[in-house]
Structure 1
Amino acid sequence: MTAENTAPPAPQGGPVARTASAATVGLGMPALRPPADGAFDGHHPPDAALVGDCVHCGFCLPTCPTYVLWGEEMDSPRGRVDIIKGGLEGDAFDASSVRHLDQCLGCMSCVTACPSGVQYDKLIEATRAQLERRVERPRAQRLLRSAIYGLFPYPRRLRALRGPLRAYQAGRLGRLLARTGLLRKLPAGLRAMESLAPRLGPVPDIPAHTPAAGTKRATVGLLTGCVQGAFFPDVNAATVRVLAAEGCDVVVPRRQSCCGALSAHGGREPEALAFAKQVIETFEAADVDTIVVNAAGCGSNLKEYGHQLRDEPGWAARAEALATKVRDVAELLDELGPVAERHPLPVTVAYQDACHLAHAQGVRDQPRRLLRGVPGVELREIAEPELCCGSAGTYNLLHPEPAAELGERKARAVLATGAELMVTANPGCWMQVSATLARLGERIAVAHTVQILDASLRGVPADQLLARALDGPGTSTAPARPRNSATPGSPA
């Protein structure tokens, strides 16, 4: 069988959307108004040379989440490259073309699979910036996007949301809304936000400077992140403890801004560049050897600053210099090698590859080596590790139906390992899989890679780690549903 004729693997999750268009009809996608004067303007259009690298071999097809769901050629990387090529050759986009491009998760699995080295990540990001400027979207979709991008890239706004959200989670309002059916009447994107919100706990105090334990090996600065800092502050605290134990002076600059990842992936170029410049100024002032990131999407974006600010006067060289300093926390710890004593932690772990760590940054072996270095940890691999869980930044809010199908596929793959604990490296993956498991009537403990290392270094008993990872801060608050309940996007 040739690569072009390779059929998508049989779904492991629930029923998929019957067609690609059905997946987004709730957001009013058919009412899009593409630009009438051609697909692209003259500001950073997709690079025709990169388009020409695609030889249509089809190796990307079985790794593309939307192609796996629907089997539609135009919902594959190869099909989307053809749409972009047509736009560069003068074709005007219609609503269908925009929909196919919008439905890409940007997971970069195709970049890993491609034997020709097609830089699809550069192509889709340039295209999305064009769409954001030039496509008139329906009012409901504009409002949803304004709400998403007016909240999540702003740490102060997210921190201000913590109080009301904790009150909502602790009270009976959520259960009342679910019982009366009012939640089901909310727009799909808002329902997704409500179901994904993790359980909140106290915010640990993280010093601006934590000295290295023993001999200093490096001075590092920690990017605290927006969602990570507001909803998963325990991960940041664990990151600081582990880095200090491994000989790092840790600097945590105050008043950090968003890194711009969500904005860049959503095509909001001016906003993304403004955020990037703030981050550059912040960490230049911190004067550190390395910038450590513990959220995969943020790390992959920081490493692209040189490209993003390539023609910004006075910023291009500074952006490239910062990008060379960026390391995921697992990447840095693997480079340094262990010096702190690991205590036994007998637990079975299913490691879930975050797309923007494995595909965008090429960091796959390092977290696995770190986990295997903990005495007692048994590492189990998840089937279809290359497929996205459906979180993909804001994708599960803008396209909740296909995101739910992908989430169920990933959740069932995690359950099939029989592991006690799922470990991941991105808050979006954490929320997506946890909420999906709850919807399936299942529970599994979830933690970040660095939290496993932290527990081992501090000698935390395995049962305490598992209990906190199952019911503590960061865990899903979504009510468990009977297993035969319909999933979002499936027939009732």
Structure 2
Amino acid sequence: MTAQNELPDPPHAHEPPHTHEPAHTHADEPQHAAQGDFSRLLDDCVHCGFCLPTCPTYVLWGEEMDSPRGRIHLMRQHEEGAPLSLPMVEHFDRCLGCMACVTSCPSGVQYDKLIETTRAEVEREHPRSPKERAIREAVFRLFPYPRRLHALRGPLRAYQKTGLERLVRRSGVLERLSPSLAAMERLAPPLGKAPRLPERVAARGGERRATVGMLTGCVQREFFPGVNAATARVLALEGCDVVIPKAQGCCGALSLHSGRQDEARAFARRTVEAFEAVDVIVVNAAGCGSAMKEYESLLADDPAWARRAAALSAKTRDLAEFLVELGPRAPRRPLPVTVAYHDACHLSHGQGVRDQPRALLAAIPELTVREISSPDVCCGSAGTYNIFQPEAAAELGDRKAGDVRVTEAELLVAANPGCSMQIATALGRQGASIAVAHTAEVLDASLRGRPASALRGRGGPGGRAS
């Protein structure tokens, strides 16, 4: 097998993924139909308040306009003609888009669709300050592009290894320059070598049971390569041929959940093309899987892509979801470790995948799973939220880290790179020595008979010891 080559960048945010395809602009969208649907979705909310205990910002501040029903009230005002004022935009920006309110709502309010539509309106209509625009452009020109992230790895590793990291943090210079830049620096995981996966990993242990495509992601691929390697090994040990398309890039999750719909559609089309030849797509990052399952609605009004997008959404599975559907074949070896499992919002609320990761962990001999209190309250990562709203995100991260520490677990298990970075950073602030791993890495250790110390001694998914 040949090593996987470096993937090309997806197209620029406002360019189509292929030169033969015309650019898809907001003018192409059926705005009036969308507005009618939006109004009907607003009507579903009866303002009962069942969402309040699970809304992270309401939990933090107790402010009505920073709750789902409060934001829906503001959406109604805008829908009826009120302009997007700065205070209104601030309340929308403070929403994490965690979808806990969707799970808790007895009326079936589709708040996720409401906030995504509203964020697209904000991006179209609201003039942000030059500083805000600069930070946002930097984030969206970097994180969805694996090659750009890869180019950052060398300088970042040197920064971490030379001790400059500690010096900069003590100085507070980044906080004074930009809290968002400081947040990005703090969240960066410790980096080791980044092994490249081959384009195909053969099934092991007998007859092939399935052929699956595997999304490598952007942040997952460059910052947590050990998670991807463990995912491929677990799938192969369970009898799957794993196909890792070279043409894949960003799935568009960050863009989709931030209101950058044209950008998200361009990334989605490229992803659809890259994975059309496989029957099942396995995803190990909660936000990515949630976005890919939304392609059907994202491209529903695009005649050339609607059917293809729906087909991709239908065959996308989270890793835990797929493994439970497939059933175990490889023997589990004992792993004497106590773990706390964290529910990533885009996995539990966005995809309804809650029991499957717990079932996989519970099936490992000698492993004990402990529950974290307030599991429905977001950790504060939420895609780019911990960069654009660093103070609120840090408060939520500290709450989650405290809940993790109460479990007295030796290892925190999470299924999303953003959550892993966010909670690991908060645990570090509190001086806790709890390591963080992905579900795939725990399974990989059990299937290969590796010691629990290999997981406990780690600083985070795919990283070196802290």
Same fold per superposition (TM over 0.5) = yes
Q: CA separation in 2, counterparts of 1:52 and 1:62?
A: 22
Q: Choose which of 204, 208, 223 in structure 2 pairs with 1:216.
A: 208
Paired residues of 1:291 and 1:325 also in contact (CA < 8 A): yes
Q: Choose which of 80, 104, 116 in structure 2 pairs with 1:89.
A: 80
Q: CA separation in 2, counterparts of 1:135 and 1:92?
A: 9
Q: Unaligned regions of 5+ residues in structure 2, if any? A: 1-30
Alignment map for 1:244-323 (pairs within 5 Å): 244-284=236-276, 287-323=277-313
> What residue in structure 2 maps to residue 230 of structure 1?
222
Distance 1:86 1:183, change over 3 A: closer
Asked if 1:197 is matched to 2:188, the reply is: yes
Mean Cα deviation higher: 351-360 or 251-260: 251-260
- Report the alpha carbon displacement of residue 471 of structure 1 after superposing the two structures with TM: 6.9
> What residue in structure 1 maps to residue 138 of structure 2?
147
> What residue in structure 2 maps to residue 35 of structure 1?
none
> What residue in structure 2 maps to residue 474 of structure 1?
463
Distance 1:117 1:202, change over 3 A: same
Q: CA separation in 2, counterparts of 1:317 and 1:456?
A: 40
> What residue in structure 1 maps to residue 19 of structure 2?
none
Q: CA separation in 1, counterparts of 2:354 and 2:236?
A: 23
Q: Choose which of 228, 240, 243 in structure 1 pairs with 2:235.
A: 243
Q: CA separation in 1, counterparts of 2:420 and 2:464?
A: 8
- Report the alpha carbon displacement of residue 268 of structure 1 after superposing the two structures with TM: 0.7
- Report the alpha carbon displacement of residue 177 of structure 1 after superposing the two structures with TM: 2.0
Paired residues of 1:243 and 1:250 also in contact (CA < 8 A): yes
Q: Choose which of 96, 102, 107 in structure 2 pairs with 1:111.
A: 102
Q: Choose which of 111, 116, 119 in structure 2 pairs with 1:120.
A: 111
Q: CA separation in 2, counterparts of 1:59 and 1:118?
A: 11
The C-alpha deviation readout for 1:65-91, integer Å capped at 9, x for no partner, is 000011011100011111111222222
Q: CA separation in 2, counterparts of 1:409 and 1:138?
A: 31
Q: CA separation in 1, counterparts of 2:175 and 2:260?
A: 30
The C-alpha deviation readout for 1:76-109, integer Å capped at 9, x for no partner, is 0011111111222222232111111111000000
- Report the alpha carbon displacement of residue 267 of structure 1 after superposing the two structures with TM: 0.6
Distance 1:338 1:134, change over 3 A: same
Q: CA separation in 1, counterparts of 2:165 and 2:192?
A: 18
- Report the alpha carbon displacement of residue 425 of structure 1 after superposing the two structures with TM: 0.2
What percent of counterpart residues are identical?
61
Paired residues of 2:143 and 2:218 also in contact (CA < 8 A): yes
Paired residues of 1:438 and 1:476 also in contact (CA < 8 A): no
- Report the alpha carbon displacement of residue 354 of structure 1 after superposing the two structures with TM: 0.2
The amino acid of 2:284's aligned partner reads N
The amino acid of 1:307's aligned partner reads S
> What residue in structure 2 maps to residue 432 of structure 1?
422
Q: CA separation in 1, counterparts of 2:356 and 2:436?
A: 19
The amino acid of 2:152's aligned partner reads L
> What residue in structure 1 maps to residue 175 of structure 2?
184
Q: Choose which of 319, 324, 335 in structure 2 pairs with 1:345.
A: 335
- Report the alpha carbon displacement of residue 433 of structure 1 after superposing the two structures with TM: 0.5
SS state at 2:82 partner: coil
SS state at 1:380 partner: strand
Paired residues of 2:344 and 2:415 also in contact (CA < 8 A): yes
Q: CA separation in 2, counterparts of 1:56 and 1:259?
A: 34
SS state at 1:386 partner: coil
Mean Cα deviation higher: 246-255 or 362-371: 246-255
> What residue in structure 2 maps to residue 489 of structure 1?
none
Q: CA separation in 1, counterparts of 2:163 and 2:234?
A: 38
Q: CA separation in 1, counterparts of 2:378 and 2:73?
A: 22
- Report the alpha carbon displacement of residue 216 of structure 1 after superposing the two structures with TM: 1.3
Alignment map for 1:355-394 (pairs within 5 Å): 355-394=345-384
> What residue in structure 1 maps to residue 49 of structure 2?
58
**TM-score (norm. length: structure 1):** 0.86
- Report the alpha carbon displacement of residue 388 of structure 1 after superposing the two structures with TM: 0.3
The C-alpha deviation readout for 1:108-142, integer Å capped at 9, x for no partner, is 00000001111110110011011101100011100
> What residue in structure 2 maps to residue 4 of structure 1?
none
Paired residues of 1:201 and 1:472 also in contact (CA < 8 A): no
Q: CA separation in 1, counterparts of 2:397 and 2:333?
A: 34
SS state at 2:394 partner: helix
The amino acid of 1:470's aligned partner reads G
SS state at 2:317 partner: strand
Q: Choose which of 58, 62, 67 in structure 1 pairs with 2:58.
A: 67
Q: CA separation in 1, counterparts of 2:56 and 2:169?
A: 30
Paired residues of 2:144 and 2:252 also in contact (CA < 8 A): yes
- Report the alpha carbon displacement of residue 442 of structure 1 after superposing the two structures with TM: 1.8
Distance 1:258 1:471, change over 3 A: closer
Q: CA separation in 2, counterparts of 1:200 and 1:272?
A: 28
Paired residues of 1:199 and 1:472 also in contact (CA < 8 A): no
Asked if 1:79 is matched to 2:70, the reply is: yes
Q: CA separation in 1, counterparts of 2:399 and 2:316?
A: 32
Paired residues of 1:446 and 1:475 also in contact (CA < 8 A): no
Q: CA separation in 2, counterparts of 1:170 and 1:391?
A: 25
Paired residues of 1:210 and 1:240 also in contact (CA < 8 A): yes
Distance 1:460 1:311, change over 3 A: same
| CA root-mean-square deviation | 1.5
